[in-house]
Structure 1
């Protein structure tokens, strides 16, 4: 056990001392008694003298303890505890002891404060509601059934001294970290007369008012009405609102009243506002904790897989798990951790078609760059800086000759990189950001064309191709329907895609009309060469009579992709599939495509995709897999990597998937987890997210 100061950037800043006296704290939600301050730290409740000093742990349960509140006499601390897998109201003596559970509702019961007589705890809960809007309740310390306040809803509250009124927040903001929010979910403070439920509203102009605290004839609260959250007061007699503290660069996060003052949290540090002097000062706090959470440990990360791809032959898969890159065999051999870099995030691995390399994104330099590594982990990876300015990338795809890589940046520009010359070529740009993977780029089998989708001015997507030799882009579909998930057939003679004519209402992100709207799509095939026959022309069995057998072996297939653009719109054919909410296509062997069918209403239900296998030759779709969340195929299209309810499987694409078939054993995906290094990476990645996607700089 050792003594530390609770640094917000615990191990974040390289070389920073954990015992620096001016380090910010990780103390949350402080509460005040006549001689002590209690707060939450590391999922436990701690207590420290009012003047500061060495803190003492009050609770040490295996669950999360939060929102401590002193009783009026300072003898008890009420808190929200998750000991039994559910947040409920507990009380514990200030001197320590066995916490006593007061509520047993199978939902969240959130401690707010106490009744003035100290006999009951005020808390919020949705126990009597069919929706998520909570009400305020009290529960007696000796036990008993919770009693609702005569208010239809409420979140946080504070009683007047005589208990006849309560200052409270009627609704909770679903995203409390949304700064400068001025929409319909702003949080006012209301004062209710409990005898008749009559309401008085604290004056405001669309501000966020939080943490109401009733002391004497004054309701104190924190508010962003001055730009940043700071301390205000409302005189219930004069009806006047006063600002008590000047706003600082860092907001006040929470506050609680007590004898002689208010304690509040700012940047994880505890501050005490004194009523007499009307000044605030930081309370120095030290905590002695063993901090088991920061110890390095060996952990299996097979359940934390994100990105995945298949080797060309399908005997191994490459996974991104907890920021490292692994390859795992389907049958023989061991799992390999190719990167072994705690505190560095490696993402989006793809296996080259020649089987020699694995490319992925890494933030080892502080920003994401492309790394190209040996598939067995030998030597150091080749590092390619894709852009001069820091950027984010997705949609990585190898060219068939393993010499180029496609990618899309955060500005939705589509590029390809020549790995031999390091030349980057811009292909196109998506003009409108939308949810999901933008553009869905992929290569033609001969590597001379890039296929993708892009939104037009009408916000509908169309199918485009880019020719590497000419540098010319051509739109294929007419833009009168929403086309997506275009893929080249492995033969190079066709393009498959999905399209919808009833998707329009879902395009409105900000409108309620986009909510829970059924969408249907149909699947189509484009015949690329004008000389090729229709793959769906009418069939007829005819007697052929005596014919001479063919002489000699068949010649090699023509792998050059040729696109005749003249009249191509007349060569777009509807596949014989009933319209449904198809959400993706994955090319399999030549003439076959895997179709991902979602729930009838997008976003509703959690059953995963139903995957169908459509064969042009058979002209029908057959069931392939159920309950699928992720699907990719190898470069040949004869093997599929499936992630779903049945686990992770590598299976042939020519027949329906059987339970347990080709199960990938991820038990060997072990890595050394170093929490401090991971927290450092998480901190800076969070900042990069803000820098690159939120702020205009």
Structure 2
């Protein structure tokens, strides 16, 4: 900015953007503002005396004649609509879901709250009711009375417990640590919870005394692939090897030991315990039949994952031993000995209905030679995922190949494999996610935005729709703004690629920008503050998107690939230019250059879909919501006589 005999400019040579000037006569540079926290932004002058700029959300003017800075007080009347509490539906914002142990109710996480919803009868329950915290990762306890979840209500992530009916207050179960938590899972006996943190460490929490022990450490990112044994005495965990493949390991509660289970020569993942405690099933990429590129001599791995099982003891029967038809020999039953007269028939022993499945099954493991007792489940190798085991069956997904630029034409489907019959069948087509009940009898399936409950059996049975229409939260925007700000700050603290945050004091930066929260009146304000805070790190690929902007619906307009111009002499629009396209590609097509379309530059457009187009109209008003076939009435002359219709 050139004012008089000085050049004024903004520089961060002192570490903070401040206003400086350079005297053209003496070449002397002088610092004019001395802020150590807030940058001088968007400086602009009137080229005579005043320079105006923004600093930490406030406007100030600098008088170049007196070298004085003055804050500008601006009062803007505002109804505060974007800060008013309101009740908003959240069925479109479901992040996670689970099932009650026997599938009577569904568990949802949406917009930072935890809900349960009935499958058929009843009403949903919001169990956490908090705009100030982000509650997530919910999991239903095996006995059904409690729900565990992760919440930052204390300012940091902790594991919390809440009654499944919402009675009483939620209670934290872990100490406050500076780490984001993930993958909360109950042990089947309900005594422990496993979860991981941002450093890839796996922890086990004992509910009774709230003690936590670290059981595994993933060196290559987050650790989210693990499963409890049926008795709750062991954890099967996927861990990376130094060769960039992964193996399964088993951690045991009894001795706190971690032992390798599968070979490091093959990628193994998605562990699933046999409910009888005899096998540990898993997925493994062991078939290399690459797909050849049609463009160049190159290949891509595809459809190479199979299902395997490791026998946990030497005496376990091979599920897929060779079969043979043999003759059954009829044996004549011997008559039962006569009972003395007056004796009663002894009662048959009845199973103890009060015992839980986890208490009846004790998973015994012989670790010696474990990796040598691997069998393959007779399922064709494919793009398999999300393996789980229930009584007599395996569940898994089959997906299409992944592409750059387009989705696979093959929808992900949920398969069920009958271990006795050695047969696979499709349980549900087009699956975006699923959750199996603890007893293995039901599965909650997500297809797009629709949830359904299905019986876990080869034919599946009828899909029961699960309504999410009544899920809603009492939104308090001011509290949400603070929660979003704090979580963004923590995520950068936890996941920035270097721990020293590029040498900046991240806590001080957060404290500085947190002062602006009372002035945030709209989500766009919040995004601006977040962007300014993140920009302090001087790092690329840092983006902000989303939020409730309370904007009116934007009108959709059909674009014909042409420019219109008004001929004022006749009061009609004509085509000034037609944009070329590549009509063999749908997304690059230019409608007016399609084969058979008789339109040229200079033609007058007299009507669009029968509506006359005059000088007082905007052509694009008549093209609103036109995404399909559009008919133009055109002519070389600005009259309807002799006009032709093109579509």
| TM-score range relative to shorter protein | 0.5 to 0.7
8 A contact 2:183–2:195 mirrored in 1: yes
- Determine if the alignment matches structure 1 residue 344 to structure 2 residue 133: yes
The equivalent residue for 1:491 is 276
User: Residues 234, 644 of structure 1: CA spacing in aligned structure 2 closer, same or farther, 3 A cutoff?
Assistant: farther
8 A contact 1:584–1:597 mirrored in 2: no
Pairwise CA distance, 1:291: 1.8
2: CA distance between counterparts of 1:547 and 1:432?
A: 62
The equivalent residue for 1:539 is 323
- Determine if the alignment matches structure 1 residue 654 to structure 2 residue 457: yes
- Determine if the alignment matches structure 1 residue 677 to structure 2 residue 466: no
Pairwise CA distance, 1:276: 7.3
Paired residue for 1:396, among 170, 173, 184? 184
User: Residues 284, 594 of structure 1: CA spacing in aligned structure 2 closer, same or farther, 3 A cutoff?
Assistant: same
- Determine if the alignment matches structure 1 residue 362 to structure 2 residue 362: no
Per-residue CA distance 1:463-496 (angstroms, 9 max, x = gap)? 0111111222110111112221112122221112
Pairwise CA distance, 1:266: 4.0
- Determine if the alignment matches structure 1 residue 332 to structure 2 residue 121: yes
- Determine if the alignment matches structure 1 residue 688 to structure 2 residue 490: yes
RMSD after superposition:
4.0
8 A contact 2:161–2:170 mirrored in 1: yes
Aligned residues: 467
- Determine if the alignment matches structure 1 residue 442 to structure 2 residue 261: no
2: CA distance between counterparts of 1:541 and 1:472?
A: 45
Stretch moving more, 536-545 or 416-425: 536-545
The equivalent residue for 2:514 is none
Paired residue for 1:412, among 200, 207, 210? 200
Pairwise CA distance, 1:223: 7.6
Per-residue CA distance 1:234-291 (angstroms, 9 max, x = gap)? 99xxxxx999977853456656676557655443334556777888765432221112
SS in 1 for 2:268: strand
- Determine if the alignment matches structure 1 residue 562 to structure 2 residue 364: yes
SS in 2 for 1:685: helix
The equivalent residue for 1:124 is none
- Determine if the alignment matches structure 1 residue 477 to structure 2 residue 262: yes
- Determine if the alignment matches structure 1 residue 631 to structure 2 residue 434: yes
SS in 1 for 2:469: coil
The equivalent residue for 1:51 is none
Per-residue CA distance 1:25-46 (angstroms, 9 max, x = gap)? xxxxxxxxxxxxxxxxxxxxxx
Pairwise CA distance, 1:690: 2.9
8 A contact 1:489–1:592 mirrored in 2: no
- Determine if the alignment matches structure 1 residue 600 to structure 2 residue 401: yes
SS in 2 for 1:285: coil
The equivalent residue for 1:53 is none
Per-residue CA distance 1:594-643 (angstroms, 9 max, x = gap)? 21233412787557633222222232332222332221111111111222
8 A contact 2:131–2:480 mirrored in 1: yes
8 A contact 1:444–1:561 mirrored in 2: yes
2: CA distance between counterparts of 1:422 and 1:449?
A: 19
Per-residue CA distance 1:70-109 (angstroms, 9 max, x = gap)? xxxxxxxxxxxxxxxxxxxxxxxxxxxxxxxxxxxxxxxx
TM-score, normalised relative to structure 1: 0.59
The equivalent residue for 2:243 is 458
Pairwise CA distance, 1:332: 0.8
Paired residue for 1:376, among 162, 165, 173? 165
- Which structure 2 residues correspond to residues 125-136 of structure 1 after superposition, within 5 A? none
Per-residue CA distance 1:635-684 (angstroms, 9 max, x = gap)? 111111222226012221214567x8221111221221111111122122
1: CA distance between counterparts of 2:459 and 2:44?
A: 61
8 A contact 2:418–2:424 mirrored in 1: yes
The equivalent residue for 1:591 is 392
8 A contact 2:60–2:69 mirrored in 1: yes
1: CA distance between counterparts of 2:249 and 2:459?
A: 32
Structure in which a larger fraction of residues adopt strand:
1
1: CA distance between counterparts of 2:416 and 2:4?
A: 72
SS in 2 for 1:286: coil
User: Residues 328, 439 of structure 1: CA spacing in aligned structure 2 closer, same or farther, 3 A cutoff?
Assistant: closer
Per-residue CA distance 1:97-148 (angstroms, 9 max, x = gap)? xxxxxxxxxxxxxxxxxxxxxxxxxxxxxxxxxxxxxxxxxxxxxxxxxxxx
User: Residues 381, 259 of structure 1: CA spacing in aligned structure 2 closer, same or farther, 3 A cutoff?
Assistant: same
8 A contact 2:32–2:67 mirrored in 1: yes
2: CA distance between counterparts of 1:609 and 1:224?
A: 53
Per-residue CA distance 1:375-413 (angstroms, 9 max, x = gap)? 1111223322x2353332211111112121111122222
User: Residues 423, 579 of structure 1: CA spacing in aligned structure 2 closer, same or farther, 3 A cutoff?
Assistant: same
1: CA distance between counterparts of 2:493 and 2:92?
A: 30
- Determine if the alignment matches structure 1 residue 523 to structure 2 residue 307: yes
2: CA distance between counterparts of 1:463 and 1:340?
A: 39
User: Residues 271, 610 of structure 1: CA spacing in aligned structure 2 closer, same or farther, 3 A cutoff?
Assistant: farther
2: CA distance between counterparts of 1:458 and 1:253?
A: 50
1: CA distance between counterparts of 2:133 and 2:212?
A: 25
Stretches of structure 2 that go unaligned for 5 or more consecutive residues are: 24-28, 291-298, 337-347, 501-506, 508-647
8 A contact 2:117–2:468 mirrored in 1: yes
Structure in which a larger fraction of residues adopt helix:
2
8 A contact 2:3–2:47 mirrored in 1: no
User: Residues 517, 683 of structure 1: CA spacing in aligned structure 2 closer, same or farther, 3 A cutoff?
Assistant: farther
SS in 2 for 1:628: coil
User: Residues 321, 245 of structure 1: CA spacing in aligned structure 2 closer, same or farther, 3 A cutoff?
Assistant: same
Per-residue CA distance 1:39-78 (angstroms, 9 max, x = gap)? xxxxxxxxxxxxxxxxxxxxxxxxxxxxxxxxxxxxxxxx
8 A contact 2:418–2:458 mirrored in 1: no
Stretches of structure 1 that go unaligned for 5 or more consecutive residues are: 1-212, 236-240, 506-514
2: CA distance between counterparts of 1:664 and 1:389?
A: 37
2: CA distance between counterparts of 1:452 and 1:310?
A: 23
TM-score, normalised relative to structure 2: 0.63
1: CA distance between counterparts of 2:137 and 2:155?
A: 17
8 A contact 2:246–2:264 mirrored in 1: yes
1: CA distance between counterparts of 2:52 and 2:269?
A: 55
2: CA distance between counterparts of 1:604 and 1:595?
A: 26
Pairwise CA distance, 1:586: 2.7
8 A contact 1:462–1:479 mirrored in 2: yes
